[in-house]
Structure 1
């Protein structure tokens, strides 16, 4: 085994321990979340057990980090983000985040003259901000017009539709939590 490879494997344990502590988790809590025994997790963190894919995958999922981050893999290739637009319901969504799970960020382009289809309902929570144009947001019984610079947030379990308020294109920034995560928390005054 090359020295570089051995160094990478030796660094996995301390990286796992630091990540667990940073998240404020005990070994027992992490064991319950991953299905990996406390003793195995302890041996991984101390370096007495080598990490395997079967152990790292649930850890990456629970910590919501790419597998590369757990093993300290060097960044490779082109550092630029290559965005692949997705077309749905006549609109274009450009994903701005690539991490699995959690909040997802999108730039959304609403074309001019988009007709109002049936309202959508799906799991999640959405926060949006109008970058350019005038957005028509139909949310349940509400029919709202948001000009550039305004924002809205709502549970996507409420029937909703987004379109142009004036027949011109609209650009939005959207933060969407598929599991109902909110984009921000409000602090309460004491």
Structure 2
């Protein structure tokens, strides 16, 4: 089976330029709003930069677009198989993400990610578009959303408004989970939206 036609760098370069133009932002203004250096942004748009999770999350938040709109997606066929070894890893301070598929139904969009929180590591996010759903497959995961904290084990689920500041922490060994980002087509970021944290788990810590 062949490797993906475009790398994360190439997809981010094309999509970042497109979205920035749609927003009418100069590189200087985007740098000011995102806190990312103008030279770094220029490298990302030329496809020569090295994007991290933090960078992509920051751009998603400032440009008010879903993360997958910056990373692109492949149209589904009748049978879609995604091999983990063939998907590029987008890494951050504590998390490795693999974008597996985008699912659309009407105006609803769900992006599916394989997520690994590295052992004894923490990944912070200032917030981004959508509702975030995580199902833990292996390990113990601490999730914090706007001061609310829960601990999850294998089979446990948590969902919350992703516009709120949040973090994932692996408690000891690495945590493997499935991450779903749900939003509406054309949805924009609303940081002031009410906090909503939903946990379905028989073993959630108080």
Range into which the TM-score falls when normalised by the shorter chain: 0.3 to 0.5
Based on CA coordinates, which of the two structures has the bigger radius of gyration? Answer: 1
Larger fraction in strand? 2
> What is the TM-score with the length of structure 1 in the denominator?
0.48
> What is the TM-score with the length of structure 2 in the denominator?
0.44
